[in-house]
Amino acid sequence: ILNVEQSPQSLHVQEGDSTNFTCSFPSSNFYALHWYRWETAKSPEALFVMTLNGDEKKKGRISATLNTKEGYSYLYIKGSQPEDSATYLCAFGRTDKLIFGTGTRLQVFP
Amino acid sequence: EAQVTQNPRYLITVTGKKLTVTCSQNMNHEYMSWYRQDPGLGLRQIYYSMNVEVTDKGDVPEGYKVSRKEKRNFPLILESPSPNQTSLYFCASSFQRGNTEAFFGQGTRLTVV
């Protein structure tokens, strides 16, 4: 059974704080690593898909790094805003499917 | 607008009454899949389809059926729903299987009483 672990489970930060979360995945047979942002009452939306060891991707204040050899990815949010409040999901991409972690729920207080 | 459309958004039904949740995408994606989301668990794949007339079981297929007669549509069928199928369901599509982003439908919250 392949496990994708995310930590922490939840996080409360003040507006303006920078934060980061971790996704751990199997380091063998790596294919792809996805990050999704899931707001309450909406559907998950893709942030990044990374396929190469050492990949770094950035979208505005959000960035992600990938280490396939040790099996982890970090998602960083710089200067968190209340609108960043959401659950952040990572998914390990195989050739047949995505295996999702349980997510990190972020709440940003004004 | 590129999108995945799921219907209905909310459904309350009784045990044993057959139901279908529809899913349609307009991006000409070959790969489509169904997931369920339960508290404390990650999204779990129910069924997936790699192309028309090609479907396969995911991690939790018991009690569900799917069909893929056309590329754009991938309905989820519950022949005899039971209370343990109460969940939030998502349909998703992608250009390829594991290394391109998935586009999700709006979700269907199903309650079986």
| B12 three-class SS | strand
Q: Once rounded to an integer, what is the mean pLDDT over residues A4-30?
A: 94
Question: Which residues in chain A (71-100) have CB-CB distances under 8 A to chain B?
Answer: 89, 91, 93-100
A66 close to A52: Cβ distance less than 8 angstroms: yes
Q: Once rounded to an integer, what is the mean pLDDT over residues A73-99?
A: 94
Taking only the tens place, the pLDDT of each residue in B62-82 is: 999 999 999 999 999 999 999
For chain A, give the mean pLDDT.
94
* The pLDDT of residue A74: 98
CB-based contact, B1 to chain A, within 8 Å: no
Residue bearing tokens 């949740």? B21
Q: Which of A42, A32, A43 is nearest to A91 (CA)?
A: A32
Judging contacts by C-beta atoms under 8 Å, the chain B residues touching residue A93 are: 97-99
Confidence bin at A39 (pLDDT 50/70/90): very high
